[in-house]
Structures are given as C-alpha cells and as structure tokens.
C-alpha cells in the first residue's frame, strides 16, 4: 500500500510517500481501508515535536518513534477482522476513536498510558490502517469526508462546549473560529445548544461562511479595539469563552467576560 511517513522531527520535508505492506489486524483489531483522513493540527505539531515543553515530544513524553504514519481523524470501511472480532464488523463504514488508554471511564484522556493514533500508532495518511475493533464506531454521517472531522476536532469541540454548560441565548466568544476546533465550536454552541456566538477570525472575508455555520457576529483579532468591538456588538460582557488561541487573545477574552463567566481553553495556536 501507499503511505505517508514522517521520518523525524522537522519541517514538511520530513514527510515521505512510501510503499509498505498492508498491516495485519491482531486478535482484537480490524483492518480498515481508509476513505478519508482530515488534516489535523495534531499532525503538524507531532512532526514539529511541539507537544510538551523543553525538549521535542509527541503526545507522550518519550517522543515519537519514527518513521511514523500520521493522521488521526479517519473514516473507512472494515475489510478484515482479527480472530476474536465479530465478523459482523466486516464491510462496516466506521469512524475511529483516536486513542487507546487503560484509564477509567471519563479519565481515559489523562491516563499515563494514553496513546494516540498517528503519533504512537500509525495513522490514516495511508491506504489501510489497523485499529482495535471496539474503538471503531458507526459513521455519524453518510459522507466519509464530513464524518472524518468527528473524532478528534469534533469531540474536542463537543467536550469544550459541554464544559461551559452553555444555556440557550447566552453569548459565547469563540476564538480560532475558522479553524478545525473553532469551526465546530461555532456549530455546536449555536446549533445544538442555542447560544449566540461571537466568532473571532483574522480575515473578515470569512464573515459569510462563519454566519452560515451559525455565528451571530464575526470580528477580527486584527482590530486595534477588539475588546470594545465585542462589548459593543453584545451590549455588554459575554457569558463564556471557547478558546483555542491562548496568549494572543487571553487578556482580551478575560476583559470581555462577565464576572462568574466561564472560560474553557483547549489550545494555544496563538502562543
Ligand atoms: N484540531 C484538534 O482536533 C485539536 C484538539 C485539541 C486541541 N487542539 C488545539 O487547538 C489549537 C487550534 O487547533 P486547530 O486544529 O483548530 O488549528 P487550526 O485549524 O490551524 O486553526 C488555528 C486557529 O487559530 C487562529 N490563530 C492562530 N494564531 C492566532 C493569533 N495569533 N491570534 C488569533 N488567532 C490565531 C487561526 O486564525 P486565522 O486563521 O484567522 O489566523 C485559526 O482560526 C491548537 O493549539 C491545537 O493544539 C486541537
């Protein structure tokens, strides 16, 4: 099969297209023919060694074992099942939950042995991938490409919106609103929970697109008076913040947040 491998920490010249054997599913695994794999920020940070602090690191402190096939947001068809896997899995369209962990329910993501597909395991920038059968779920939509944003960026956004316990009609500031997580934060906060969203982007040409996703107002972080802009369109302080940008917008977000408001952060695209 064809696959992309990252051969070491560095720039895009570390990505190589190679030929390799199709992997064999182990006892509790399935082999999936990859139909779509979205390009997620995590693949870039994995290659750059940008996780962790101090030294280069992957999702785990010991770093990535290269060569590694990246890709974590994957959909595909199950084409082979390991010995102990129910054969009814065959031919299923699936979306892959992205990590393994021995952590107890609800704490899996902070377990010491949490290991991520595309970082600790070979991922979806390939024609085939193997993965535990019990971490393969029915595809949420009929479209492979649209479904391929659900597991990593989608679940991150879902979890973020849940954390702020948003109520219908409340105003939420969403940073990085045109990005992988932010665009899903806009959709989930508005269309599922009925919030009003002030979407923050760099380029205001995206205004119509963000409004289609559900945003009530779209403002640019390039404004010299972003805090005033937010307070003006909302008619006062906002109820909560969903932030993936970090340092670049942190003081602005705190400034416009009401007393007792909620602030959920899950990234640092801006430092
Ligand atoms: N993707 C995931 O599944 C996932 C999961 C958990 C955590 N995260 C974390 O969330 C963060 C964003 O990830 P992503 O996948 O959404 O990235 P992305 O698709 O690359 O989007 C990054 C966003 O950040 C904005 N941004 C970058 N620098 C900025 C600055 N200086 N000031 C204001 N906005 C700035 C960009 O706005 P412009 O394009 O307008 O410049 C863009 O909207 C990362 O730190 C990532 O590690 C991501």
Domains of the chain: 2-148 (3.90.180.10), 154-265 (3.40.50.720)
Q: Is the pLDDT at 62 greater than 90, yes or no?
A: no
Q: Do residues 84 and 30 lie in contact, with contact meaning Cβ atoms separated by under 8 Å? A: no
Tell me the pTM.
0.94
184 pocket-lining for ligand 1 (C-beta < 6 Å): no
Over residues 204-214, mean pLDDT: 98
- Among residues 211, 244, 220, the alpha carbon closest in space to that of 40 is found at 244
Over residues 81-104, mean pLDDT: 97
Q: Is the pLDDT at 52 greater than 90, yes or no?
A: no
Helix (H, G, I), strand (E, B) or coil at 47: helix
Task: Kindly list the distances between the CA atom of residue 74 and the CA atoms of 5, 71, 267, in Å, as whole numbers in the listed order.
Answer: 16, 7, 21
Query: What pLDDT, in 10s, does the model give residues 127-172?
Result: 999 999 999 999 989 999 999 999 999 999 999 999 999 999 999 9
Out of 223, 267, 268, 270, mutate this one to test ligand 1's pocket (max ligand atoms within 8 Å of CB): namely 267
Ligand 1 midpoint to CA 175 (Å): 8
For position 55, what pLDDT does the model report? 65
For position 109, what pLDDT does the model report? 85
What average pLDDT does the structure give for the chain? 95
Q: Do residues 172 and 195 lie in contact, with contact meaning Cβ atoms separated by under 8 Å? A: yes
């Amino acid at each position: 099969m064809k696959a992309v491998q990252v051969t070491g920490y560095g720039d895009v010249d570390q990505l190589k297209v190679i030929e390799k054997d199709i992997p064999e599913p182990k006892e509790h695994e399935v082999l999936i023919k990859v139909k779509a794999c979205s390009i997620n920020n995590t693949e870039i940070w994995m290659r750059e060694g940008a996780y962790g602090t101090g030294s280069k690191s992957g999702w785990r402190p010991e770093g990535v074992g290269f060569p590694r096939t990246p890709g974590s947001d994957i959909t595909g068809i199950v084409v082979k099942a390991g010995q102990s896997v129910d054969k009814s899995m065959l031919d299923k369209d699936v979306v892959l939950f992205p990590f393994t962990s021995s952590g107890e329910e609800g704490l899996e993501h902070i377990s010491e042995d949490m290991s991520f597909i595309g970082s600790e395991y070979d991922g979806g920038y390939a024609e085939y991938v193997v993965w535990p059968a019990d971490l393969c779920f029915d595809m949420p939509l009929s479209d492979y490409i649209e479904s391929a944003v659900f597991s990593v960026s989608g679940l991150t956004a879902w979890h973020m919106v849940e954390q702020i316990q948003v109520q219908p009609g409340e105003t939420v500031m969403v940073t990085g609103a045109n990005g992988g997580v932010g665009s899903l934060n806009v959709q989930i906060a508005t269309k599922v929970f009925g919030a009003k969203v002030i979407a923050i982007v760099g380029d205001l040409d995206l205004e119509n697109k963000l409004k289609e996703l559900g945003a009530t107002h779209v403002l640019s972080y390039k404004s010299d008076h972003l805090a005033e802009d937010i307070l003006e369109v909302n008619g006062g302080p906002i109820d909560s913040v969903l932030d993936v940008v970090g340092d670049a917008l942190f003081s602005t977000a705190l400034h416009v947040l009401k007393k007792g408001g909620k602030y959920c952060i899950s990234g640092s695209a801006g430092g």
